[in-house]
Homo-oligomer: A and B are copies of this chain.
């Protein structure tokens, strides 16, 4: 049986999603809870939609895990699950009962996954938000853990113009940390900047998938535009040059939050996952992290 978990966390005190020996990570904390529920032997492992870096937050991360028959039977027999039409619903309560003391990670929902569901390969797109406070915004101490401060006045209109020109199917090598043998071709579906009611600059960045540190590089390039150090043309040329450049900074992790992961309708799940397991080319559709 495959179970889908919806997860939210404050990344401040995590060394990212992925399990690392001796370091506190989101996957590590959640898998330790699963091991307490199902036993250390054959403890379920999590497969995640977006492997977030140290310090990155998530409002709506998605992961799946597989239970064997004995583990599923144990879940169904839990007395608190008796009134749930879907026994998987009770898993969120049980995990939260273990991780609640920390308070910075929570399973917001658990459910039996539809046939063919794969949290990583089934995702159609991921949407991130990046928050920047500049001199126009003012500095709000209550937002500082989730917002990057830039001590200058940024030109939001120029940033939005630059962002809009990066959209589309491209090789984003200039905006990715290189990884051996991994493609850097992605479809950037949405990239825009606006100021919220408090004047905070909010970037919305949505793509089929992202390569490593890509959102923070895209955001850093537009902040350089907002500072007048680069033009919207420059960041398009940098992208097309295809090499990681030093003309802009990869911004700090704490301003970044994974907001949403979208999956296709249930009947299309298996098709989607099969498509995206293949490597991608400029000609083909699909996505993989």
Binding site for B on A (CB under 8 A): 8-10, 57, 59, 103-106, 108, 138-142, 144-146, 257
SS of A interface (majority)? mixed
B141 touches A9 (CB 8 A): yes
B141 touches A106 (CB 8 A): yes
A142 touches B57 (CB 8 A): yes
- Please give me the residue from chain B that is nearest to A104 by CB atom: B141
A144 touches B103 (CB 8 A): yes
A8 touches B141 (CB 8 A): yes
- Please give me the residue from chain B that is nearest to A109 by CB atom: B138
- Please give me the residue from chain B that is nearest to A151 by CB atom: B100
Q: Name the contact of A141 in the complex, choosing from B103, B138, B139, B141 (C-beta under 8 A).
A: B103
State A202–B38 Cα separation when bound (angstroms): 39
Q: List 11 A-B contacts (CB under 8 A).
A: A8-B142, A9-B141, A10-B141, A10-B144, A59-B140, A59-B142, A103-B144, A104-B141, A108-B139, A142-B146, A145-B145
- Please give me the residue from chain B that is nearest to A146 by CB atom: B142
Q: Which chain B residues lie closer than 8 Å to A104 at the CB level?
A: 141, 144
Q: For the complex formed by this chain, how many copies does it contain in all?
A: 2
What's the nearest-Cβ distance from chain B to residue A83, in Å?
Answer: 16
Q: Which chain B residues lie closer than 8 Å to A145 at the CB level?
A: 145
What's the nearest-Cβ distance from chain B to residue A129, in Å?
Answer: 11
Asked, given contacts A103-B144, A144-B10, A144-B103, whether A138 binds B57 with beta carbons under 8 Å apart, the answer is no
A142 touches B108 (CB 8 A): no
Asked, given contacts A103-B144, A144-B103, whether A138 binds B108 with beta carbons under 8 Å apart, the answer is yes
State A139–B92 Cα separation when bound (angstroms): 12
State A257–B141 Cα separation when bound (angstroms): 12
B146 touches A10 (CB 8 A): no
Q: Which chain B residues lie closer than 8 Å to A59 at the CB level?
A: 140, 142
What's the nearest-Cβ distance from chain B to residue A52, in Å?
Answer: 13
State A104–B141 Cα separation when bound (angstroms): 5
State A41–B150 Cα separation when bound (angstroms): 36
Q: Which chain B residues lie closer than 8 Å to A103 at the CB level?
A: 141, 144
Q: Name the contact of A106 in the complex, choosing from B106, B139, B146 (C-beta under 8 A).
A: B139
State A106–B145 Cα separation when bound (angstroms): 14
What's the nearest-Cβ distance from chain B to residue A13, in Å?
Answer: 10
What's the nearest-Cβ distance from chain B to residue A281, in Å?
Answer: 38
Q: Which chain B residues lie closer than 8 Å to A146 at the CB level?
A: 142
- Please give me the residue from chain B that is nearest to A103 by CB atom: B144
- Please give me the residue from chain B that is nearest to A144 by CB atom: B103
